[in-house]
Amino acid sequence: MRGIQLSLNQTQRLRLQRALELLETLSSKASLNASVTVADNIPVNYEDGVLKGHGTTELDGEVVATVCGVVERVNKLVYVRALRARYKPEIGDIIVGRVIEVAPKRWRLEINFIQDAVLMLSSMTLPDGVQRRRTAVDELNMRSIFEENDVVCAEVRGFQHDGSLHLQARSQKYGKLERGQLLTIPPYLVKRRKQHFHHLEQYGVDLIIGCNGFIWVGERVEAKDDMVVDDHVNKSEQHSSKSRNWTSLEEQEQTYTPAETRQNICRIANAIRVLSTLGFNVTLDVIMETVYLSSSLNVEIHEMLGAEFCVLVAESEAERRSSSAKRKG
């Protein structure tokens, strides 16, 4: 998304600057007392006791900020949450990653972190769905589950004593992601929410907003019953024994994504790219508003990455926040 360069004319540049200034004014009013820059003093009550957290230090008896951000307080703990920071995993985070290595009893994933994450074979549900001890046969068949360059959704399990980040995928909602697009945006644009899995029924699309800045937009995949899958596998094995190089029309239809769904995937993906380019927080509501705006104005999918639509999105967001502030006031 950083590679997108907007070639604005003079009018578009003035419109965008006006919209961004309005957004900055609205955001500064909301967090005027909480925002700090480097070397700003942070008011604290020493009588109750103070614990200095990340982004703070003590200088001449005063608590001073060492980074630009927003002051957060949790009981006695005072710390500064940086506005633009790298992804810091927390237990329970929903992440999207790409497999870069198949190692003994584990997969290594790139998750937009300072180090790779590890998904153990014992930390995921096997294709047959049976909870049992992993055997040597399971280890030999690891590539039939995930292989290099596969996109995987998982959950942060925690850090091990050696400092490595471990994941788990013990649910049907986790696993391999296919027939879609993987987008990468700055992690600070994604805020932790109660729900990171979204099914957009009107578009037939699944949207997974990973806390690590990896976002998946893909075709809706219905979960199948294990018994049905097993029967299908047995039939396909019998069929492949007769002719291994022939693919039936039914199998082709199952792996085919309709043109309308592909267009919806591209439209939603481009909406996320526009929001990332403008530096807006990426949430489901903002994404859907951007998609609705492009549809209502009959903007073609490839035109969404143009300068004019980016300016329209900025103006629409500024108008929305301004009207929301007036209602609250």
Strand ranges (E), the chain: 35-36, 51-52, 56-59, 62-65, 69-74, 77-82, 94-103, 106-110, 117-124, 151-159, 165-169, 175-177, 180-184, 197-200, 205-209, 214-219
pLDDT at 1: 39
Q: Which of 162, 150, 166 is nearest to 89 (CA)?
A: 166
- Angle CA 299–205–144, to nearest 5: 130
pLDDT in tens, 92-140: 999 999 999 999 999 999 999 988 999 999 888 877 777 788 888 888 9
List 51's β-bridge partners, or say none: 77
Q: How many CB atoms lie within 10 A of CB 176?
A: 14
pLDDT in tens, 55-105: 898 888 888 888 888 888 888 888 888 877 788 899 999 999 999 999 999
User: Do residues 116 and 167 lie in contact, with contact meaning Cβ atoms separated by under 8 Å?
Assistant: no
pLDDT in tens, 259-316: 899 999 999 999 999 999 998 889 999 999 999 999 999 999 999 999 999 999 999 9
Q: Look up residue 109 and give its two tokens.
A: 């994933």
pTM metric for this prediction: 0.79
pLDDT at 227: 35
Q: Which of 27-36, 219-228, 288-297 has the highest mean pLDDT?
A: 288-297
pLDDT at 197: 94
- The correct answer on CATH 3.40.30.10 for the domain covering 86-177 is no
| pLDDT over 90 at 320, yes or no | no
| pLDDT over 80 at 46, yes or no | no
Helix-helix angle 284-296:259-278, to 10 degrees: 110
- As a whole number of Å, the end-to-end CA separation of the chain is 36
Sign of CA dihedral 291, 297, 303, 306: negative
Residue 21 sits at φ, ψ, to 5 deg, of -65, -40
Domain boundaries, the chain: 1-21+179-236+256-329, 86-177
pLDDT in tens, 155-199: 999 988 777 899 999 888 899 999 999 999 999 899 888 899 999
Question: What single-letter amino acid sits at 94?
Answer: I
Distance, CA of 272 to CA of 291 (rounded, Å): 9
Report the pLDDT averaged over residues 27-38.
Answer: 66
